[in-house]
Chains A and B, each alone.
Chain A
Amino acid sequence: KQEVTQIPAALSVPEGENLVLNCSFTDSAIYNLQWFRQDPGKGLTSLLLIQSSQREQTSGRLNASLDKSSGRSTLYIAASQPGDSATYLCAVRPGEETSGSRLTFGEGTQLTVNP
């Protein structure tokens, strides 16, 4: 059974700092990995989607990397801003499963960027 772990559970940084969020998964046979952002009381917003054949994806100040063999992904946020404060979740599309393409989610990292 695929398990996804995110460390740390919470992170507080001063504005302007570069930071890294970590996501690890137990089954390396994945189709893709997706990073989401969730603001309090809101739904999840997709940030980046990395296919299993890719090593990284970039969007603005965000860069996500994927190392399938070690079962790890990182989300790098450059020059953090208070508006980046949110919970960040990663999710993997596991293995060869074809029924519904179900994702397995991590529990998230709650990020606070202090002005």
Chain B
Amino acid sequence: NAGVTQTPKFRILKIGQSMTLQCTQDMNHNYMYWYRQDPGMGLKLIYYSVGAGITDKGEVPNGYNVSRSTTEDFPLRLELAAPSQTSVYFCASRKQANTGELFFGEGSRLTVL
């Protein structure tokens, strides 16, 4: 039962470096999401996708990009890392639009120095 899998679990970046956070799900879910969680804060939506080839911005998209070439994969790209992007990133997916339960990955902890 893999569910939603994120890699890497931890990463340290220098300012200006780029990297991609990987997310894959094996539940054939159409809807996928990227959230960030800062200490003591709720989750903020970065980007989401309603199916392969379709993505859209969430609340805090600046500094990030996404793609959705397959149903299973939804990578999140940081082009020029900044200290403000230090956070824990969660990928999530759901099957149905309105009533479906949301499933989360275990998170990727990113530090930008």
Contacts and interface: CB of A to CB of B under 8 A. Distances in A.
A32 B104 contact: no
- By size class, the interface of chain B is 20 to 34
B31 A100 contact: yes
A31 interface: yes
Given A34-B101, A46-B102, A101-B31, A106 B42 contact: yes
23 contacts: A4-B42, A34-B101, A42-B106, A43-B104, A43-B106, A44-B92, A44-B104, A46-B101, A46-B102, A46-B104, A49-B99, A49-B101, A91-B102, A93-B98, A99-B56, A100-B33, A101-B31, A102-B33, A102-B48, A102-B58, A103-B45, A105-B42, A107-B41
A18 interface: no
- By size class, the interface of chain A is 20 to 34
Contacts of B106: 42-43
Interface string A43-59: 11110010100000000
A31 B40 contact: no
A89 interface: yes
B2 interface: no
Contacts of B104: 36, 43-46
A31 B101 CA distance: 12
Nearest to A44: B104
Interface of A: 4, 31-32, 34, 36, 41-46, 49, 51, 89, 91, 93, 98-103, 105-108
A100 B101 contact: no
Given A89-B42, A107-B40, A107-B41, A31 B98 contact: yes
Contact of A99 (B50, B105, B109): B50
Contacts of A99: 50, 56
Given A49-B101, A91-B102, A100 B90 contact: no
